Amino acid sequence: MPKQPLAPFFNPKGIAVIGASREPVKLGYGLARNLLQSGYPGKVHLVNPRGGELFGLPLYKTILEVPDPVDLVVLLTAAPTIPDLLETCAKRGIKAAIIASGGFRETGSEGAALEARCVGIAQQYGMRFIGPNCIGLIDTHLPLDTTFLPPPGPMKGDIAFISHSGAICAAVIDWVRGQGFGLSSLVSLGNQADVNETDVLGAIADNPKTTVIMLYMESVSNGRRFMEQARQVSRMKPVIALKVGRSESGQRAAASHTGALTGSETAFDAALKKVGVLRAATTEEMFQWARTLAWCPLPKGDRVAILTNAGGPGVTAADAAENEELELAEFSPHTLAGLKQFLPPAASFHNPLDMLASASPEHYAQSLTLLLDDPGVDSVLVIAPPPPMFSAGAVAKAIIPVIQGANKPVVVALMGDKLIQEAVEHLRAVHIPEFRFPEPAMSALAVLSRRRAILAFLEHTPTRAKATNKRKANAILKDVPPGMLASQNTSRLLESYGIPCVHASLAPDAQEAVHMAEQTGYPVVIKVASPDISHKSDVGGVMLNLKDSQSVSAGFDQVVSNAKNACPGARIDGVIVQRMLPVGQEVILGVVRDAQFGPLVMFGSGGIEVEGLKDLAFALAPLTYQEADSLLENTWAGRKLKGFRNILPADREAVLDALIRLAQLAYDFPQIAEIEINPLLVASQGVFAVDVRVRLSGS
């Protein structure tokens, strides 16, 4: 059945609270109190089977007694009572519910059964619900507060917070209030039995009061759907995600290096990158990034200027800039000349600009003005340990008008505690991001640059590989059972999508190996053929540069013997005979199908180096040209394709083309579970897939 819209959650005309309590120690009391004190402009109805009165309002004994309008109900009663109450609400015509009660699937099988009943009722009556096991939602602008959290609630702001965890919400509300900024809305999703993060993401993005969205995630309900929604939202507003539970609970059973080296977190990283969502490492980082994105303009480039009154913090900031892949700006002659007019000769006029400890508030303001006027400066980090002869508050007051009049981002590192509190309050009052140390301040500037790059990246669409033969590939894969694709078909499959392969022949015995080598032309390579041996070189199952029939015959015996000794139970079908290729660079291309996000493409150093170096980069299929290029630029294997010292340049464009084609092949055929080309030999002109493995799933 089609999903119902979520408007009743975010702009209800009337709300009923089932489980309102007259006992101040009960959560139902706190919920009713918060809703009434929030200033919610619609009708509020309180329900308790004992009746009576609470906060001057009648306590209705059942929802059926409550007068219209009611389009949202909040349920806070014992878990076993919830399904029947939910059905009564649905029959009354209420289409939205928040189930704040705990005691559902988080408690075990009995709770899971109760939760399943709630889902069935909602589907039957076309109802949507948030929860169970959640604290509800807050909208500071409507206003609306359906939580039972202790007051005061968050201040009005322009940052939205969507959380899988209810427990973190109370701490977050108190923390952001202490940090001097507010929230536009907060949504606690709980168990997400019905409404999930993807549903709410779109609804929150539609709120004009929200400029930045934060997601605290423990999982994702539907990976592909989340990606579609997040990409749309990221085009409009910055989205920052903190995904917890990064550790892998188990190792994937894989038939390739690609499968062994990837996991759900790798796929999650690639998914967020593909749709333009910023991934924070910590809760504090998420909020600091959000505050900066909400309060600062985006820079036009990555060139940052550092303004300080002390050398050490300036060097610390310069190191942080390099770590964040930002560039230290070079000051123009005009800027340098202006600075030398009022700063002491002993000052350091290079970036970082160290005005010395004697710097006055006026020096800060004048220097900052010149830096912001410099066309070679895109953003500025101001560092202000407590000046020896002036107050940090005076420095803040001096630079505030300069920052407010600029169209470039400026963040401030106020280093200290008690001596900088006045400055902190001044900056927070006018929404200028301040930090205690240079590193998080530089991270904030970096996230602004990343947001600028994301907006440019989201303009690109996946590059459809040209000259692919989907019909031929389908014929090769049709009716093939799950498992490893036969080696004679792997090259045909790749070539149907335009990826050049080294033709391989299966020789069951030494005599046939010699015959095939003579047909192929010497020199040749032979590799043991076994569906049970993933990494042939590890077992001595590969011999290179065999130049005559005698070496091929002896080589056959040797690799088969090596394989049998290393893997006594393995099935040996003979050897694969291929021609020896010219000298080139070896890289690995791979794809593993992630259960949530689809085909995950891997690129990196190939051959026997892949697991040792772990020089790898990942992206989700299908690929844009820019994504393929990024895979190369983020690995040593890709960068050295341009040549390095005694390493000759190789055909980089052919690698990009092969990546895009491989990604398209995996995207077009869901039954492909894994593909690995290791190595892909990159010559001065062209590429050759030397060793290919394809595993099919049952889908």
- All structural domains of the chain with their residue ranges: 7-245, 297-457, 503-580, 585-696
Give the chain's end-to-end CA distance (angstroms, integer): 25
| Predicted pLDDT of residue 531 | 84
Shared fold status for 7-245 and 297-457: yes
| Predicted pLDDT of residue 581 | 84
CATH code for residues 7-245 = 3.40.50.720
- Across 121-141, b (16+ Cβ under 10 Å) vs e yields bbeebebbbbbbbbbbbbbbb
Average predicted confidence (pLDDT) for the chain: 92
Note every long-range contact of 82-88, with CB atoms under 8 Å and residues 24 or more positions apart, other chains counting.
82/114, 82/118, 82/132, 83/114, 83/117, 83/118, 83/121, 85/18, 86/118, 86/121, 86/122, 86/127, 86/129, 87/121, 87/125, 88/62, 88/63, 88/64
| Predicted pLDDT of residue 177 | 87
| Predicted pLDDT of residue 296 | 97
The label of the residue with tokens 């390739």 reads 256
Q: What is the CA radius of gyration of the chain?
A: 31
Give every CB contact of residue 200 below 8 A, 6+ residues apart in sequence.
6, 162, 187, 189
CATH superfamily, region 585-696: ATP-grasp fold, B domain (3.30.470.20)
Is residue 170 classed as helix, strand or coil in its secondary structure? helix
User: Is domain 503-580 in CATH 3.50.50.60, yes or no?
Assistant: no
| Predicted pLDDT of residue 255 | 43
Is residue 371 classed as helix, strand or coil in its secondary structure? helix
| Predicted pLDDT of residue 264 | 73
Closest CA to 305 of 405, 448, 409: 409
The pTM (predicted TM-score) of the whole model is 0.87
Is residue 93 classed as helix, strand or coil in its secondary structure? coil
| Predicted pLDDT of residue 253 | 38
Closest CA to 238 of 266, 196, 280: 280
| Predicted pLDDT of residue 174 | 87
Which residues of the chain have a pLDDT value below 70? 1-4, 246-263, 607-613, 699
| Class of domain 297-457 (CATH, top level) | alpha beta
Closest CA to 186 of 218, 153, 219: 153
Among residues of the chain, what percentage have pLDDT more than 90? 81
